[in-house]
Amino acid sequence: MQICKILFFYFLFFLIIIFSSLFQSLCVLGYCLFPILLCSMLYYFLKSYLNFGIKLLMAGGTFVWCCFSSIAFMSDIIGNEKKGLALFPICLFYFAFTCYLLL
């Protein structure tokens, strides 16, 4: 099962690299994962005070934040005709990480 998860993230990263260079993709993905890191730290320290509804709102907020910040970076690199096609794997990548927050 762990191998399937690793292959899934590798496949998503490969789709992202197709539309931009390796270093640009790493910078965008690393910078835009920071809100998910903050949210996971809040979950860890406040786990006894948070119910599932609040966790779901926080995870949704971080997902939207990550997607919009990566769209702002990647829109300069990618032309308008390929924007939706290139941003789908990025948003799917962040969605997978935000789903891990809810576990």
In tens digits, the chain (103 residues) has pLDDT values of: 667 766 776 776 676 666 666 667 667 777 888 888 889 888 888 888 888 888 899 999 999 998 888 877 777 677 677 777 777 888 888 898 888 888 8
pLDDT value at residue 33? 84
Q: Of the candidates 63, 72, 65, which has an alpha carbon nearest to the alpha carbon of residue 96?
A: 63
Domain containing 79: what range? 2-101
Helices (H), 1-103: 2-19, 22-32, 34-45, 52-77, 83-101
Which burial class, exposed, middle or buried, applies to 65 when counting CB atoms under 10 A from its CB (0-12, 13-18, 19+)? Answer: middle
The pLDDT value recorded for residue 61 is: 93
pLDDT of 16 reads: 64
Rounded to whole angstroms, the Cα distance separating 102 from 60 reads: 10
Structural domain total, the chain: 1
State the pLDDT at residue 49: 86
The SS3 call for residue 49 is: coil
pLDDT of residue 64: 92
Amino acid (1-letter code) at residue 43: Y
Instruction: Specify the amino acid at residue 98.
Output: T
